[in-house]
Structure 1
Amino acid sequence: MASLTREEARQRAQLITVNRMEVDLDLDRGSEHFGSTTRIRFSCNVPGESTFLDLRSVSTGSVTLNGGSISPDAVVDGRLPLTGLAEDNLVEVVATMAYSRDGQGLHRSTDPADGEDYVYGHLFLDAAPTVFACFDQPDLKAPYAVTVRAPQGSVVLGNGRATQTSPGHWELSETLPLATYFVTVCVGPYVSVHDEHDGIPLGIHARRSLQRELEHHAPQMFEVTKQSFDHYHRTFGIRYPFGDYDQVFVPEFNAGAMENPGCVTFRDPMLYRGAATREQILQRSNTIAHEMAHMWFGDLVTMRWWDDLWLNESFAEFMAYTATSAATEFTDSWVEFGIARKQWGYAAERAPSTHPVAGSPAPDAQSALENFDGISYAKGASVLRQLVTHMGEAAFTSGVTAYLRSHEHGNGELAEFLAAMEDAHGSPLGEWSRAWLETAGVDVIALDRDGMMTRTTPEAYPADRPHSLDVAGFTDGAEAFRTTVTLDRPRVEVAGVARDVTLLVPNAGDLTWAQVDLDDATLAALPAGLSRVTDPIARGVLWGAVLTGVFRSSVGPRVAVDVFTADWPHEGHDALMSRVALAFTDRVVPQFVPTALVESVDGRIAGAALMAFQGAEPGSDRAIVAARVLASTTTDEDRLRAWVDGHNLPDGLQGDADFRWIVVRTLARLGLADDALISRVEADDTTLSGHLAALAARAARPGIPDKQWAWSELTQNRERSNYELNALATGFWSGGDVDNLRPYAARYVSDIPHLAQWVGADALDHVATLAFPARVVEPETVELVREAIARPDLTAGVRRAMGDELSKLEEALRSRARWA
């Protein structure tokens, strides 16, 4: 299907205005197809002109324009020409649509726990035409009046409040103007809990089999929801405008969540089944605050075109962490931002696909999908933190509020945002915007013992970015000094730097967007000193400097492992514990450590996990994180088999099915989990999560027949859902000797692109990333992928996924060459 170009969208928006959308959905026609009838009232400012409607149906029954019939055969490549337009127009389309299994459009999923069917709409980014006929672009917003015919016993949720008018027939209240990609309906035997806050009806909903988890977690989620509403109302003085506020946890969701006005959808693994650490609750709370921020940034005011998606995502990211740190119990949420979100963004900056925060090229809608990454989220939020410092908090809030008020229920773009901010600031922001928003690249900053601070700008993306930050020194864990710096030149002398401190930390408050190089004395002192630093944000900066140093080849993997084994068992912040361990087990060890040494280094990681586990208070978050890392790294078969059988389990993990699956997957990776064991555990956990975990465990087994089966299921079984593909891809590369895995590097470049024939772009991009042969760290893999990227038949998303993962592989090869 042709992807809408920016120029086509501009021309269509200049010609027509969509006044009202009426959509009737018949979701009671079986498991494959549903009925869709759409009536669109729109005006044309040049009568007699032509345009086109977006429609991707299985079959089209009838099309009428202003009472005249149009042949359904006129639809070509997802577009229906509309000619001879009047000043006021009514087009009606009756069509049959297909449910999806890839998380896009109207996704239908059967819960293996009880056989119940669930449907939800995810119309992002350009999937709306697979659900109803429309003018599918973000700047043609319109009110929606939706009706749904649903199977008996279903609950219906959507952007407007749903009312059952007769058995199986539902009407949703008409909405305020919405962009097409925000429209959703959720239908199935959902269970619900309700509340109310400040006049806003609240609901949280999930699959029936998750009722216990829903009721357990709902009080905390309602608390964060209410606190976030109060924070945003207080900050901007603009009330939430979209009526009810439902939050629906849905199965097999491609993203973390989606900000559909009045009906936010979340991936339902966030309803944690077993032990949930504070960091996991923070992640979910931050997602709740993030999606709510979109009610203003994205929903109330929508970007005019996808090259300004930062006006949605950067703001939601920034506002969410601001809200959780200021209005909830998670006052330390910026710690998690630094070690999780910023590391994601720094990796995106080092990739060949790096792009500016704002104005990133998006010639068509599909190309924009590629830029929903750590730059649009984490870098954008960090840049906004710098803008607050540059303008002052009062002026920043005033400018943002003015922008929202002047564009509410409409669309905006970078120039209009900057104009509002300049009015509030009282001076131009053009140079600042060009340096921070409109130029790609991340600077590297360093501080020496003589107080000289340096800023190195990437040669490919020169920019004069002024950094507002602080630097600090620590001795015996205590802060010895801290001073603020404006780094607006390549070299700046910093007064008050104490030469004799143990650890010298540039950007100690993690206030700016820059990778950090530590001085040699600090790096040497980390094994004895990092965990003693009392400030968790500064510890996060140090951990992050070690990780980015490994990835940039400025820190050797041996040094990094020494720091991990010495400091990680004593790390006191569970976000730092879990994220640092994940970075080491998922990337540092399997990619950067030479193959001959991986087994011994794995043993050191497991030893550190055992030390942390034994030293933690039983049942504490530290103990749970350590137990999970130990379960995923140990080769102690007796311990693993005892845990699978429920013996000697750590406190807080008794009956925890997800922890049990971690253990099973480790046994599988070690070649110690036969079909009988996996089937026995799966029989005890008949949920969707259990089914997916069993797939991943089977794919992780190292035997050649196991790999052949897993790869066949991944690349040939067209009945596999998006989540099943992800589970197979993740499990496949987690176990097995490199010699047995090597042939699949070639299979990857030949087989994965062909999934585009039946897997949607959003889902396929995930699979292409997860299935990448990252374990085969060899020049031959680089050549294979480079040749594949040059092929013309690749989708843009697969090409980008391959390129970004290739850049990580090349980072590992450079490191191995330097630190061999």
Structure 2
Amino acid sequence: MPSLTRDEARQRAQLITVDRMEVDLDLDRGAEQFGSTARIRFSCNAPGETTFLDLRPVSVESVVLNGAPLDVGSVHGGRVALRDLRAENTVEVTATMTYSRDGQGLHRSTDPADGEDYVYGHLFLDAAPTVFACFDQPDLKAPYAVSVRAPQEWVVLGNGRATRTGPGEWELSETLPLATYFVTVCAGPWVSVHDEHDGIPLGIHARRSLRADLERHAPQMLEVTKQSFDHFHRTFDVRYAFGDYDQVFVPEFNAGAMENPGCVTFRDPMLFRGAATREQVLQRSNTIAHEMAHMWFGDLVTMRWWDDLWLNESFAEFMAYTATSAATEFTDSWVEFGIARKQWGYAAERAPSTHPVAGSPAPDAQSALENFDGISYAKGASVLRQLIAHIGEEAFNTGVTAYLRSHEHGNGELSEFLEAMEATHGASLADWSRAWLETAGVDVIALDRDGTLTRTVPEAHPADRTHALDVAGFTGGAETFRTPVTLDAPQVRLDAVPDSAVLLPNAGDLTWAVVDLDAASLAALPAELSRIPDTTARSVLWGAVLTGVFRASVDPKVALDVFTAAWPLESHDALMSRVATAFNDRILPTFLAEDDVEAAEERLAGAALMAFQGATPGSDRALVAARVLAAATTDEDRLSAWVDGRSLPEGLEGDSDFRWLVVQTMARLGLADDTLIAGVEADDTTLSGHLAGLTARAARPEASDKEWAWAEITENRERSNYELNALATGFWSSGSIETLRPYAARYVTDIPRLAQWLGADAHDRVASLAFPSRVVEPGTVELVRTAMAGPRLTAGVRRAMGDELSKLEEALTSRSRWAG
């Protein structure tokens, strides 16, 4: 079906205004389909003209425009033509819709723990027409009045306050104007924790089988919710506008969370059922703050079209980390941002799909989905930090408030945001915007021993970006100097640079730039890195090592030397976790020559064992080290004892997720037969256990295991989005190159066919996870490039293939440069 184009959206918005939406949903028709009736009041400023509704039904029972029935056969390509419009119009559409299993539209899931069903609406990006007839574009906002019929034992939640009006009958209070993609209904036998803060009713909800986890985590989540509300009210000076504030943890959710006004949805693995490190709780807390920030940036003021999605995501990213660092216990949250989010963004900048923060071309709605990446999130947030350095925090906050108040309940775009900022700054921001927001690419900065700080601009995306940053030096566990610098030229000479073992530009991680370390600093890291007292500086250094490997400027064997020397002594759990993941999941299996991998894996496992033995039992460091050790070790006795519940690390007794991590390692090593996996599945009948079992089965290295897993991914249309992800995650984690090589060719033929039954968001994710990343050979490059040049791929799958291919090519380039 055609995706709405920007030109079509602009023409429709110029013609009509949507005044009110009434939606009636019947969720009591069984597990496959539901009933949908939408009554839409809209005005037309050119009577007699024609427009169209968006609708993707199973069947249409009736379409009535201004009292006159239309031919129900007039639905073509997901659109219903509405002709001869009046100045004031009402259209009513009654249709039958189908539940999804791919996380889009109205998703229905069965909890294997107790057999209960749950439904939630995820209408992002253009899935609203699969739930109700509408004018599906972000600038045709309208109030919604929603009623729901559901099984009598279910609880219904949504954007407005839900009231039970009879057995199985619910009404949601009419909302303020919403974009279609923000509308949600969540229905099922939810369990709930309620509270109130500053006059705002609060609710946190989850599946019935997660009651104990919900009740254990709710106090911390409610605390962060309250702290975030207070912070945003102070910062924006604009009150939260959407009534109740419900947060619903839903199964099989494609994203991390979704900012539906008044009813935020989260992926429910965030209700950690086992031990959780401080970093994991920080990530969840940051997600809570991120989605709340959207209540202002995205919900109160919505982008006019998808090419300004940065006005949603960059601001929510920046505001969330600002809130967690300033208003919660997580005062060091920018450290996690640097090692996790910025590394994601730098990877996106290296990919061929790199794009500007703002104004990225989005000729149609589906193409916009491709730009929800580390650039729109992490780079955008970093750029906003640079904007504050440029105009000052007071001018920035004043401009934000003015922008929100002047556009509330409406739509905005880049030019209007810049106008608000220029009014408070008192000068034009056009040059700044062109350099930072409207030009792709990341600068490389380096500090020489003679005190010369250089800025290298990417040739493909030249821009004159001024960086506000600092440089620092470290020797023997002490900071030798720190100097603020404005880098506004290709080279800046510092007055004095004291002799230091490690020289570090951007030591405070204040700007968006890749750091190249000088040779002496890199050589000093094995001895110096773990002794540096500044956690942010260590984050920048670890990031420089990782990006250096990916850019082929650092030998992966040298990086492994740094890891084995410094990582076991690292004290920050976010740095431990993220760096180990990069080495274990990518650097060792793809950047090293095949003959070097086994020895490198032994060194990584040795570092994990050293960290584990040196950590305080039960501490975050011990937990991270135990997980890394469980994923990396080949010690069959240790693995067998842990899977049997013997000699477990403190705090991991009865931890099902840790047990599955051990099982998956045993599976990769060929040590997990059907009996072992089935036994662990019998002990863990939850959705998480089911998915972990699929990953373990796909992770086994034998040819028959790979054949089964690939068939499940590419042929079983009953598999949900999460099941496909679990299978794809396990598939490439083991197996000889001879076993895996044929699947590179099968990937380019089989994965595109999933578009026949899988939604775009889920399909794109599977295309990334199922990519033949372990077949690091020129033949894989040729296969994928040929497929990308053909006509069979959706835009999202082509983007996913291209981005994953760029990672494989990075590994090939590194192997070529550092061979021998």
TM-score normalized with structure 2 length: 1.00
CA displacement 1:573-595 (0-9 Å, x = unmatched): 00000000001011111110111
The residue that corresponds to 1:643 in the other structure is 642
CA distance in 1 between partners of 2:495 and 2:722 (Å) = 54
CA distance in 2 between partners of 1:773 and 1:585 (Å) = 17
Per the TM alignment, residue 686 of structure 1 is displaced from its structure 2 partner at its CA by: 0.2
CA distance in 1 between partners of 2:521 and 2:695 (Å) = 41
The residue that corresponds to 2:589 in the other structure is 590
Alignment of 1:500-539 (within 5 A): 500-539=499-538
SS of residue matched to 2:732: helix
Per the TM alignment, residue 631 of structure 1 is displaced from its structure 2 partner at its CA by: 0.2
The residue that corresponds to 1:149 in the other structure is 149
CA distance in 1 between partners of 2:505 and 2:566 (Å) = 20
Per the TM alignment, residue 496 of structure 1 is displaced from its structure 2 partner at its CA by: 2.8
Alignment of 1:740-755 (within 5 A): 740-755=739-754
Q: Which residue identity lines up with residue 287 of structure 1 in the other structure?
A: T
The residue that corresponds to 2:702 in the other structure is 703
The residue that corresponds to 2:728 in the other structure is 729
The residue that corresponds to 2:459 in the other structure is 459
SS of residue matched to 1:260: coil
Alignment of 1:437-476 (within 5 A): 437-476=437-476
CA distance in 2 between partners of 1:245 and 1:590 (Å) = 45
CA distance in 1 between partners of 2:326 and 2:521 (Å) = 32
The residue that corresponds to 2:318 in the other structure is 318
Per the TM alignment, residue 652 of structure 1 is displaced from its structure 2 partner at its CA by: 0.3
Query: Quick check: 1:631–1:666 contact (8 Å CA) kept in 2?
Result: yes
CA distance in 2 between partners of 1:658 and 1:679 (Å) = 15
Per the TM alignment, residue 791 of structure 1 is displaced from its structure 2 partner at its CA by: 1.0
The residue that corresponds to 2:614 in the other structure is 615
Q: Which residue identity lines up with residue 773 of structure 1 in the other structure?
A: P
SS of residue matched to 1:227: helix
CA distance in 2 between partners of 1:725 and 1:705 (Å) = 18
Is 1:658 the counterpart of 2:657? The answer is: yes
CA distance in 1 between partners of 2:497 and 2:207 (Å) = 57
SS of residue matched to 1:140: coil
The residue that corresponds to 1:557 in the other structure is 556
The residue that corresponds to 1:3 in the other structure is 3
CA distance in 2 between partners of 1:83 and 1:710 (Å) = 50
The residue that corresponds to 1:334 in the other structure is 334
Alignment of 1:85-234 (within 5 A): 85-234=85-234
CA distance in 2 between partners of 1:497 and 1:19 (Å) = 64
Q: Which residue identity lines up with residue 138 of structure 2 in the other structure?
A: P
Per the TM alignment, residue 644 of structure 1 is displaced from its structure 2 partner at its CA by: 0.3
Per the TM alignment, residue 449 of structure 1 is displaced from its structure 2 partner at its CA by: 1.1
The residue that corresponds to 1:601 in the other structure is 600
CA displacement 1:434-463 (0-9 Å, x = unmatched): 000000000000001111000000000000
Q: Which residue identity lines up with residue 145 of structure 1 in the other structure?
A: A
Per the TM alignment, residue 236 of structure 1 is displaced from its structure 2 partner at its CA by: 1.1
SS of residue matched to 1:313: helix
CA distance in 2 between partners of 1:487 and 1:73 (Å) = 63
SS of residue matched to 1:602: helix
The residue that corresponds to 1:634 in the other structure is 633
Per the TM alignment, residue 737 of structure 1 is displaced from its structure 2 partner at its CA by: 1.0
Q: Which residue identity lines up with residue 404 of structure 1 in the other structure?
A: L
CA distance in 1 between partners of 2:537 and 2:143 (Å) = 48
Per the TM alignment, residue 509 of structure 1 is displaced from its structure 2 partner at its CA by: 0.2
CA distance in 2 between partners of 1:791 and 1:617 (Å) = 55
Per the TM alignment, residue 28 of structure 1 is displaced from its structure 2 partner at its CA by: 0.1
Per the TM alignment, residue 216 of structure 1 is displaced from its structure 2 partner at its CA by: 0.1
Per the TM alignment, residue 782 of structure 1 is displaced from its structure 2 partner at its CA by: 0.3
SS of residue matched to 2:670: coil
Per the TM alignment, residue 735 of structure 1 is displaced from its structure 2 partner at its CA by: 1.1
CA distance in 1 between partners of 2:26 and 2:790 (Å) = 42
CA distance in 2 between partners of 1:201 and 1:416 (Å) = 33
CA distance in 2 between partners of 1:240 and 1:418 (Å) = 23
The residue that corresponds to 1:384 in the other structure is 384
Q: Which residue identity lines up with residue 325 of structure 2 in the other structure?
A: S
Per the TM alignment, residue 293 of structure 1 is displaced from its structure 2 partner at its CA by: 0.1
Query: Quick check: 1:483–1:496 contact (8 Å CA) kept in 2?
Result: no
Q: Which residue identity lines up with residue 398 of structure 1 in the other structure?
A: T
CA distance in 1 between partners of 2:709 and 2:598 (Å) = 24
Alignment of 1:347-426 (within 5 A): 347-426=347-426
SS of residue matched to 2:157: strand
Per the TM alignment, residue 675 of structure 1 is displaced from its structure 2 partner at its CA by: 0.2
Is 1:814 the counterpart of 2:813? The answer is: yes
Per the TM alignment, residue 244 of structure 1 is displaced from its structure 2 partner at its CA by: 0.2
CA displacement 1:713-764 (0-9 Å, x = unmatched): 0000000000000000000001111111010000100000000000000000
SS of residue matched to 1:654: coil
The residue that corresponds to 1:775 in the other structure is 774
SS of residue matched to 1:52: strand
Query: Quick check: 1:470–1:506 contact (8 Å CA) kept in 2?
Result: yes
CA distance in 2 between partners of 1:584 and 1:702 (Å) = 21
Is 1:249 the counterpart of 2:235? The answer is: no
CA distance in 2 between partners of 1:496 and 1:137 (Å) = 56
SS of residue matched to 1:734: coil
CA distance in 1 between partners of 2:303 and 2:502 (Å) = 44
Q: Which residue identity lines up with residue 558 of structure 1 in the other structure?
A: K
The residue that corresponds to 2:803 in the other structure is 804
CA distance in 2 between partners of 1:72 and 1:552 (Å) = 57
Per the TM alignment, residue 152 of structure 1 is displaced from its structure 2 partner at its CA by: 1.1
SS of residue matched to 2:186: strand
CA distance in 2 between partners of 1:739 and 1:445 (Å) = 42
SS of residue matched to 1:641: helix
CA distance in 1 between partners of 2:680 and 2:216 (Å) = 24
The residue that corresponds to 1:427 in the other structure is 427
CA distance in 1 between partners of 2:755 and 2:82 (Å) = 30
Per the TM alignment, residue 495 of structure 1 is displaced from its structure 2 partner at its CA by: 2.1
Q: Which residue identity lines up with residue 474 of structure 1 in the other structure?
A: F
Q: Which residue identity lines up with residue 415 of structure 1 in the other structure?
A: S
CA distance in 2 between partners of 1:72 and 1:577 (Å) = 59
CA distance in 1 between partners of 2:590 and 2:45 (Å) = 59
CA distance in 2 between partners of 1:714 and 1:495 (Å) = 60
CA displacement 1:783-810 (0-9 Å, x = unmatched): 0000000111100000000000000000
The residue that corresponds to 2:264 in the other structure is 264
CA distance in 1 between partners of 2:13 and 2:785 (Å) = 39
Q: Which residue identity lines up with residue 512 of structure 2 in the other structure?
A: W
The residue that corresponds to 1:47 in the other structure is 47
CA distance in 2 between partners of 1:568 and 1:403 (Å) = 45
The residue that corresponds to 1:759 in the other structure is 758
CA displacement 1:140-163 (0-9 Å, x = unmatched): 000000000000110100000000
CA distance in 2 between partners of 1:644 and 1:90 (Å) = 62
Q: Which residue identity lines up with residue 709 of structure 2 in the other structure?
A: A
CA distance in 2 between partners of 1:748 and 1:5 (Å) = 30
TM-score normalized with structure 1 length: 1.00
Q: Which residue identity lines up with residue 496 of structure 1 in the other structure?
A: A
CA distance in 2 between partners of 1:381 and 1:37 (Å) = 40
CA distance in 2 between partners of 1:746 and 1:283 (Å) = 37
The residue that corresponds to 1:541 in the other structure is 540
CA distance in 1 between partners of 2:600 and 2:125 (Å) = 43
CA distance in 2 between partners of 1:356 and 1:540 (Å) = 25
The residue that corresponds to 2:671 in the other structure is 672
Is 1:480 the counterpart of 2:480? The answer is: yes
Indicate the RMSD between aligned Cα atoms, in angstroms: 0.4
Per the TM alignment, residue 643 of structure 1 is displaced from its structure 2 partner at its CA by: 0.2
SS of residue matched to 1:480: strand
CA distance in 2 between partners of 1:690 and 1:261 (Å) = 32
The residue that corresponds to 1:63 in the other structure is 63
CA displacement 1:590-626 (0-9 Å, x = unmatched): 1101111111100000000000000000000000000
CA displacement 1:378-419 (0-9 Å, x = unmatched): 000000000000000000000011000000000000000000
Per the TM alignment, residue 44 of structure 1 is displaced from its structure 2 partner at its CA by: 0.1
CA distance in 2 between partners of 1:307 and 1:124 (Å) = 15
Per the TM alignment, residue 497 of structure 1 is displaced from its structure 2 partner at its CA by: 1.4
CA distance in 1 between partners of 2:501 and 2:598 (Å) = 33
Q: Which residue identity lines up with residue 243 of structure 2 in the other structure?
A: G
